[in-house]
A and B are shown apart, each in its own frame.
Chain A
Amino acid sequence: MTTTHPSGRTAIVTGGAGGIGRGIVRRLAADGFTVVLADLDETAVHEAAAEIGGRVEPHLLDVTDPASRRSVVARADALGGADLLVNCAGVLRDARVRRLEPALFRRLTEINLIGPLALARLVGPGMGARGGGAIVNLASRAWLGTFGSTAYSTAKGGLVGATRSLALELGPRGITVNAVAPGFVDTPMTDGLPPEVRRRTLDAIPVGRAGRPEDVADAVAFLADAGYVTGQVLVACGGRSIGDPYLARAS
């Protein structure tokens, strides 16, 4: 369902050129937001903005670079200031703990955890001054723990922890802070999975299918406007986190 809002509200979506990010940008644009589609992939940024059309502003962003973070917030300021920040940029590369390279661990912390926190700090004051806003962080059901995923799950768990404390801190300024924790979603991030792993993962999803970017966009769009919901993790995983996520491995 798509609703049109009266406002000329502005959203920043990091990772906006990725699989889930595109779905979120498309949905927010349809909901009446002007969207700054920010991503590291220069070609994809322009291609995605052109594909979606409407009031979508392509912007090159590296969430690990402080100057680049300031520039995306300045771009939103020029459009009236960010009313919504969706921290969706993320990277999934990992290894079992004994083989995990410390440099990879740090890289995932910087992209998946520190980048989102730094952006929250940059948009917070403006949102507060304008009477409020919303921050939605893309966590992952890996926050509940996932085999072979020390770096990714640590970063996503950190993001959930920060989401909760930020909700307490920013609530008095009218800013809600929530997380969406997707399960398995068909995107370039999950394209590379071996067919066997993919099959076993699908077997463990009660609704019987992989998630789609629109499924995650629905959750983000809800939280963008849910002024009385804050500090929560909305798990969009087709029920996998309620059943046994390792069901298939055991059988």
Chain B
Amino acid sequence: MSAPTVEAVVRGHGAATRLVTDALAVARPTSPSAVVVPAVPDLRPLDELTDERLATDVGDTLDAVLADVRAVLDGAVHRLVFVLPAAPLMATAGGAAASAVTGGVLSMARTLAIELAREQVAVNVVAVDPRATTVAALAGQLGVLLGEGGEAITGQEIYLTAGTDLGRIRP
């Protein structure tokens, strides 16, 4: 008999929020779970990254991610997944601020995976690409990470990009 489904918490206002909620409707998590979808800034050439923009796009965005993480950890989750856009995570011209955020969240996830292992919290990153990641693809992945046996996967980055990232060095 399979474990009962529990509702997952979704935090953050990233572009993939709708994709995540649609996927969770199908995924049927069985562990107390949270999915954080950071609001990654738009691409912008370096010359336009003014001091004010850096403060908001990078500083405020990362602050919001930390606040979301703290909020979900207060709720005693066992699985935490960050959903990030694959393009800035892999690197893209004009993406200095966006990649500062996605790279920062990736390392935060790795640190949390190490730190929270003793509390049996598994932490992972799923990278999505609007051209390649379907609701079914994300639902399948979240089903694994948030379902039975998902505790064996932690500190990982999983690219749901249909191979568009192949041939590139990952961060």
Q: A120-B46, A165-B94, A169-B94 are in contact. Are A160 and B110 (CB under 8 A)?
A: no
Instruction: Report yes or no: A158 in contact with B107, Cβ–Cβ below 8 A.
Output: yes
Instruction: Report yes or no: A165 in contact with B98, Cβ–Cβ below 8 A.
Output: yes
Produce 1/0 per residue, B97-140, CB < 8 A to A.
11111111111111111111000000000000000000000000
Interface residues on A, range: 35 or more
Which stretch (A28-36, A81-89, A93-101, A187-195) binds chain B?
A93-101
Q: In the docked arrangement, what's the CA distance between A3 and B171, Å?
A: 32
B49 within 8 A of A: yes
Instruction: Report yes or no: A118 in contact with B54, Cβ–Cβ below 8 A.
Output: yes
Dominant SS among interface residues on chain B: helix
Looking at the assembled complex, report how far the CB atom of B97 sits from the nearest CB atom of chain A, in whole angstroms: 7
Count of residues in B whose CB is under 8 Å from the partner chain: 48
Contacts of B63 in A (CB 8 A): 102, 105-106, 109
Instruction: Report yes or no: A165 in contact with B91, Cβ–Cβ below 8 A.
Output: yes
Contacts of B51 in A (CB 8 A): 66, 118
Which stretch (A16-24, A72-80, A140-148) binds chain B?
A140-148
Instruction: Report yes or no: A169 in contact with B100, Cβ–Cβ below 8 A.
Output: no
Produce 1/0 per residue, A162-185, CB < 8 A to B.
101111111000000000000000
Contacts of A160 in B (CB 8 A): 103, 107, 171
Q: In the docked arrangement, what's the CA distance between A157 and B70, Å?
A: 19
Looking at the assembled complex, report how far the CB atom of A145 sits from the nearest CB atom of chain B, in whole angstroms: 3
Looking at the assembled complex, report how far the CB atom of A182 sits from the nearest CB atom of chain B, in whole angstroms: 15
Looking at the assembled complex, report how far the CB atom of A240 sits from the nearest CB atom of chain B, in whole angstroms: 14
Instruction: Report yes or no: B54 in contact with A97, Cβ–Cβ below 8 A.
Output: no
Instruction: Report yes or no: A166 in contact with B46, Cβ–Cβ below 8 A.
Output: yes
Residues of A at the B interface (CB closer than 8 Å) are 66, 96-98, 100, 102, 105-106, 109-110, 113-114, 117-118, 120-121, 124-125, 142-150, 153-162, 164-170, 231-232, 246
Residues of B at the A interface (CB closer than 8 Å) are 45-47, 49, 51, 54-55, 58-59, 62-63, 66-67, 69-70, 73, 88-116, 155, 169, 171
